[in-house]
Amino acid sequence: KGEVAGSIPASPTSAPHRSGQPPGDLMHGLRRASLAVVLAGVAGVVLRLRGTEGRPTNSGHWRELSGDEMR
C-alpha cells in the first residue's frame, strides 16, 4: 500500500545512455562509420589511379613557341 502508482525502483544499471543507446552500440556505430569512410577513400584512390592509367595527360600543358607563333 505504500507504493505510488507508476513508480519505478531506482537502479543504476537501468538508466539509458544520453543518446538512448548503450555505449557499446555507440562504439559499434562509430567503428562502422569509420570503416565506411576508409573504404570510400580506398575506392576513390583506386578509381583515380585507374582513370589516369599512370601517365600524364596529353592536353592542357605548356608548350614552347617558335617563329611565327611568338607574335
Q: Can you give the pLDDT at residue 34?
A: 97
Q: pLDDT digit of tens for each residue in the chain (71 aa)?
A: 565 656 666 555 555 556 665 668 888 999 999 999 999 999 999 888 887 655 666 666 777 777 776 66
pTM over 0.95: no
Q: Can you give the pLDDT at residue 65?
A: 76
Q: Which three cell numbers mark 36?
A: 565506411
Fill in the amino acid letter for 36: A
**Burial letters for 19-56: b for 16+ Cβ neighbours within 10 Å, e otherwise?**
eeeeeeeeeeeeeeeeeeeeeeeeeeeeeeeeeeeeee
